[in-house]
Amino acid sequence: LGSTQAGSLPRATDTAKQEAAAQRAGDIDAHDSSDSLLTVGELVARYAICRLPECTEQLALEGLADLLLKSGSAAAVVVDGSGKFQDLITETDILRCLWHGVPQNCTVGEWLQGRSSSDLLWNTRRFRESLSDPKVIVPPELPLHGAVVQLQHLPSVSHGFGHLLVCDGKDFVGVLSLLHVASAIAESGWEAIAEVLGVQKTATATVSEFMEPLHQVPFCMPGSTMQQLVQALLKSPSHAVLVADEQGVHGLATAHDALVAFRERLCPSSEAAWPTMSGRPGFLDLRQRAICSDSSVQQAAAAMAAVGSGRPLRHLVAVKPGGTAVVGVLSPVDLLRGIHLATQSGLPPSEASMPSLSPPLAQEAGLEEQRRQPPTPPRPSFSPSRLSMCRSHPVTVAEVLERRRGPEVLTCCTNEVLADACDSMLSAGRTAALVLDPATARQGSAVRG
């Protein structure tokens, strides 16, 4: 890890560890008796359900995807033959593999090193957290308040990393994840956690105070390709995207669905990936993910941590009380953000305004207390007809072709080797090229595709 040997972590003296812990913990209230100060080490030891699965560098990436799916975890610990900690690999890595077209038989070790057996290269460290970075390593005695601050300030927490390595000197103790925070809230309740964090106690916190409001949740269309869907998931801090169109919200796509697609080798460029994903056995629809926006955050955290059910729901869809209109999405990332804001201000999170989108009527028919409300999306309509408002008449295909004529248009011939055409597009920085018939002189009649 960095300049350290594999399987070991940077050693720190007791004094240095204590100073680092005090600095990370910040100005936590001095009601910090040993009974009330919840530490990182206690969280890791207490919640066995949050323990990450282990894998070796020889495991194929499709095997890793299957491991994460079966365990319900967002990450796995990479160990050597003797069981020593080597690295941490997350669902973000699988999303990146799907995006870059990395073959499923590429091993974990090859991916971490940035090279596959087919000599495909990629800059893995460009988007992976450096595990030699002190911001990623915390001591077991670090209070929960300090861990929240540490997690929130990780550069990659907005890209799905959200894990801290808990190390006692050079000894690896475990991994603290966002799911540990959800488990603590589920078991102790928001009031108890707020007291530990030094946040002003109020009435029970609700989902609407912590959720990501609808206007901030990424959207994609039901007809999007798998590659477009994965791109949207990578841009989402919680790895969740609402699938919606002018008819309403059809469902929620998550990293879990992308892992299934990677394991089952679904083509990234295949059209309409959503119907394939949502039609598979075990897919969770809106009804199964729904939680009322006025429910307590403890209830939501219990669902996330699989308290009493054994199946974690890391992403919940918030709906209006008594109805089915979607008003937001709640994930462990949103819990962390709410807690961090609360610790900064000393006040609980404030309730967000709640614009809503309704499910399609076909899905509403089976729900109780149906409320027919016209969708009020907080962003431009998905309807393509709105594009015609920008002009006195709609843009025609002929006009587009006329504008694209010129030296900047990339061309290739039907008898050209495909690899050469790809090289030309890479060199020109283009994503498409006009295909010409070499036997025809004039370009106007030479276009084949």
Q: List the pLDDT tens digit at each of the 449 positions of the chain.
A: 333 333 333 333 343 443 444 343 333 333 333 344 578 888 888 876 678 899 999 999 999 999 999 888 888 999 988 888 888 888 888 998 888 888 899 999 988 887 544 444 444 444 444 555 667 788 999 888 888 778 877 755 444 457 888 888 878 888 888 888 888 888 877 777 777 776 665 556 889 988 999 888 888 898 888 888 888 998 888 889 999 988 888 999 999 999 998 998 877 676 678 888 888 888 888 888 999 999 988 888 888 877 545 567 889 999 999 888 999 999 888 888 887 777 666 555 655 555 566 666 444 444 344 344 444 444 433 333 333 333 445 566 666 565 555 555 678 888 777 877 777 777 777 788 888 876 653 444 444 55
Q: Which residues contact 94 (CB under 8 A, 6 or more apart)?
A: 61, 64, 65, 68, 255, 258, 259, 262
Alpha-carbon distances of 178 from 115, 139, 151, 162, 444, rounded to whole Å: 30, 17, 8, 6, 58
Task: Identify the residue whose tokens are 């066995």.
Answer: 48
Helix orientation angle between 255-263 and 61-71, rounded to the nearest 10 degrees? 140
Return the structure tokens found at 158. Answer: 């907005």
Return the structure tokens found at 118. Answer: 């087919």
Tell me if domain 14-197 and domain 207-385 are identical in fold: yes
DSSP 242-260: EEEETTEEEEEEEHHHHHH
pLDDT value for 333: 86
| CA count, 13 A, side-chain hemisphere, 83 | 4
pLDDT value for 242: 92
**Could you tell me which CATH number the domain at 14-197 has?**
3.10.580.10
Torsion sign, CA atoms 422, 425, 431, 436 = negative
Task: Identify the residue whose tokens are 């106690």.
Answer: 201
Alpha helices in 305-394 (DSSP H): 332-345, 361-364
pLDDT value for 15: 38
**Among residues 181, 117, 141, which one has the least CA distance to residue 340?**
181
Q: Which residues contact 334 (CB under 8 A, 6 or more apart)?
A: 210, 211, 212, 238
pLDDT value for 163: 83
Q: What residue spans define the domains of the chain?
A: 14-197, 207-385, 396-446
Q: What is the DSSP letter of 261?
A: H
User: pTM score, two decimals?
Assistant: 0.65
The one-letter amino acid code at 276 reads T
The one-letter amino acid code at 390 reads C
User: Chain centroid to CA 198: how far?
Assistant: 29
Tell me the CATH architecture of domain 207-385: Roll (3.10)
| Residue 282 and residue 26 in contact, taking contact as beta carbons nearer than 8 Å | no
